[in-house]
Structure 1
Amino acid sequence: MHAAMANIRPSSVLHVDFNPRNGHQGEAAALAEIIQTGKLTAVFQPIMDFRNNAYIAFEGLIRGPEGTELHSPHQLFSAAERHGLYRELERASREAVFRSFARQNLPGKLFINATPDSLCDEFFLGDATLELLYQLGLAPNRIVIEITENQRIHDFPGLQAALGQFRNMGCQIAIDDLGEGFSNLRMWSEIRPDFIKIDRHFINGIAEDNIKHQFVKAMQSLAEICSAKIVAEGIESEADCLAVRDLGIALGQGYLIAMPVAEPRPTPCETLIRIIRQRTISVFPPTTRMAGKITVRSLTRPVGPVTPQTPIETLYRRFESEPELTSMPVVAEDTPLGLINRHEMSDRLAKPYFRELYGRKSCSQFMDALPLCIDESSTVQDAALLISRSARHHIYDGFIVTRHGKYCGIGSAHDLMGMITEMQIQAARYANPLTQLPGNVPINEHIDRLLEHRASFHACYFDIDNFKPFNDVFGYRRGDDVIVMLAQVLGQITNPSIDFCGHIGGDDFMVLFQSSDWEKRCQDALDLFDRKISTLIDETELMDNHYQGENRRGETVSYSLPSLSIGAVPVDNATALDSHREISAAATEAKRNAKKTPGSCLFIERRQLHRKAE
């Protein structure tokens, strides 16, 4: 290794003349001087363990001389690649990181970046690295080789062999930026790393983005199967940090935790520990049902077609042997020509002597030459709309499924309608179509999460009073306006990062408050609702906060404006309520008590129900 590296001073500054007249040669000379004289600064960014609020490792990074164009690692290594000095720069950088880490006696493991090409460097893989580590008092089992995938990997067997030697030394292996590189999913399966670093793209904004949330959740599941530890990179906000923590990912890294610095703190700051120790459970972004992405491909039945030359008698026997078929596709050279309806053909064959006279003739005379053809990539919603606008007989005949105009199979309108109905049911369970708020299933799932983490919260049931007469007098559209208005009010008074707002159905809502000022937020909801409800009725229809309408007997009656009732149930470690069913039942009962008081009202269940001794 380079003897000059022993005198590295992190604050050293090298002023290099990058005169444009020197051009390419000047940059190469400056880079060579940086490498030869060890003018590199090692900086370290900690990796946090959320379970014990401690740093378990530091990632070693490198910076060029301050005040120069090569201070940036991107510029530094790009220049090294241009001038054929990449491997030499990597060697000098590794030694700078090793020495600085040992000098500061930092705790835990050291993650050191390595390109796939550098793993075969004899200075890295050979005895020189071991000798340096022992000289510095660093045990090899504290070193994690973090593979950065900025090079396409062509030789996986060679990579595995090199990593095997590092493992024999006692080092562990990590993959950097999962989801960002050329082939790191394959790398994961090939080399079975000890640590997986999720690319910051998937972590930044995970608290609000359901797609990112689902990606990371899937990565976490895969990691558990492979016995690998996940590190979430790029944590920059408190909301994202708590979302990662509540997903069960134990390790995190990013600017919120600590910036990369030359001399880092060995332990987390108190502010960070307070964030991690919060008892509040983050509200996961609402699940986006992928119903709109379900395609006709999922409905396709791979039925072997007949040709236009197929005799009628042969087709008849085919229908007899396959009683579930209602239609038979007619195809020539993968091109769909038509559909033959089973029942229409049977009716014609039932005529006297028809089979005897026409049995050997072409089946094409029974064929609908204008069948409904739908590409397999079409969504089921688009297919349903197309069928509804087409000729009535297509509902009975079904449709031909194609792929780029070629025959794939057939589809049934019955199956299509069944899937549409199921999708509507599922959508209603997961999200209310009117307010787009989470439905019953997500509400129950979030209650279970809160109970599982033994978090303290208040389950508040919101219900609109006098809603039915308002709906009867002004119509369901005005009634929908009231429901949407309440949803907007709840959005205003809740903290979306910790308070879960769901729509049970109709005019019933559930909010699971973790905000400490939940009672004030409920009172704000009552006040806002009372102010807004009168704006939904024309002044000419309103008299002294009442409006007139007919009852079922046709009599004119004066009705009170809709008001809002809230039933609140506190839930903590002392409560006897230990399932979403019990909590929903208790909140419903509290709501009934609230409705006993005229006007908008908040009822809080004050009874203390204690958990039975275990």
Structure 2
Amino acid sequence: MESENSLLEIIKGRYIKPVYQPIASLRDGSILGYEALSRISLPGCEINIEELFDLATSTQRLWELERLCRTQALRNAVAKPVGTRLFLNVDPNILYDPEFISGFTSQMLREFGMNPDEVIFEITEKSSVSAVPVFISSIEHYQKQNFQIAIDDFGSGYSGLVRVCAFLPNYLKIDMGIVRKIDQDSRKKSVMTGIVKFCREAGIQVIAEGIETQEELVTLIQVGVDYGQGFFLARPSENFQRLPGEIKLLIKEARNNSLNMGGSVPVFGHVGAICSKKRALPANAPALPVYRDMCSDPSMTEVCVLNDDGTVCGLLTRQYLLGRFSGQFGYSLYYRRTVKDLVREDFLSVDSATAIDDVAAQAMERGPKNVYDAVVVTEGKQYLGIVTVRDLLNEAINIRVKNAADANPLTGLPGNNAIQRAIEEMIADDRDCAIIYLDLDNFKAYNDAYGFSCGDNMLRLLAQAMNLCCSAGDFKGHIGGDDFIILTRDTERLHELCSHIIETFSEQIQSLYSKEDWERGYIISKNRNGFAENFPIATLSIAAVTNRTVDFSQTELLSKTVAHAKKQCKQQAGHSVVIV
């Protein structure tokens, strides 16, 4: 009874205070948006916000409380930075509250001068499996109003990938139970990697919740998670915070290190090779001359602004600067300002060693207001130049066409020319690296017994297993026939990677055999002399060589070492892995 009285007092007295926690890009540390969280401001209240919502549900006052929290969050969100989103939590059960008002949020947005595309509803079915129909209805309700949707607490409740695929939300927020200590748990890392691959193919952005350590953050960046949220990045606050400079720097460095691991650069090239060194200005330079130059020279589309130490302070684009000086009072407001006063801080900056294809992807993921802005290129944190989106896309297309022409038509993996280029660039690099050769055992016998079509399916299946198990930075190639290759810089997890590929391949090949052959464990096919012989189910021989013990620049020694490792594999029955 006392708790119920507290609920009534909170609702009537509007004792709810919103706080906002940043959701940041794990590419560059820029802010995607802020999750609005509610705090009880009633003095002496002994129940927390979760208990308050449970009580509101049981006393049929859920919509009253939800409306109060939503109103407070929207009212204060007017002060959020331009271009960022507001994430609002939604209890799906409010749809069944008799007091629920459809269209309430749209009305409030108009009142506060906000647009619907600035709001993303976070919906969860965490509470109970019986809430699944309510969960579905809630998603449909907001999607019909053209709001963006995030499925919250994925991995803790009952929402599965099938349901996610059916509704195609804009964002998938991964529960902290999966994120917590992911750097120490290979199973959690594998789960997260699978989720990222699924969402990438489905066009869904992944947000990891509950990041509390640097190690968790770096691991999430390595597996390709799009956005992050947690105490390590920033705690909830009444103000709309940016990430601390050291956290943004950590994210960028971890991102670049992840991109430079094992093969993405040989396949797609460095962005530093195509950037142009254009005019840059010190932060204290006056803005008026730049405005006049841009008015007289239409080809001047942007200018970089630099700090005293040569690092990039921001980007001043033509459209943005002319917009500031336009209007009735624009000129008088800004003609005395410096470029630092007007500079945009939401620019995209990449290291010169970043792969061109990845930079193009990052550029096109930006919001509509700055999707076509030039990209700043740095080297050793110092300004190197800029590259336009047009140049990026043209170069990425040219590279993809070139690689597609060289790709194996059966598996789609890069062929021998691309493999040779990748190996040469790996040899020229002093960092740890490994070459992994994969060979199918008893493939010829299977091909003869089941036919070329089934043999092709087995090769495709192996290529698929490689793609599923390798990280985004690993280079995967098809030498020809049943011979494949992987180049990687992650030498610490070689055995884990090889074992994962074998396990994945073994789980999938049963469908390629008849029930009779699979159950007895062998097939009957002709040997090289034309006589019938029993051949075991196809297995994998994997030989890996690292540059820790073998100098890759000594081609003859490398070839001999690889040949010896492959021979050792072939001498073992069943699946085998030999690492030198």
What is the TM-score when the length of structure 1 is the normalising length?
Answer: 0.42
Larger Rg: 1
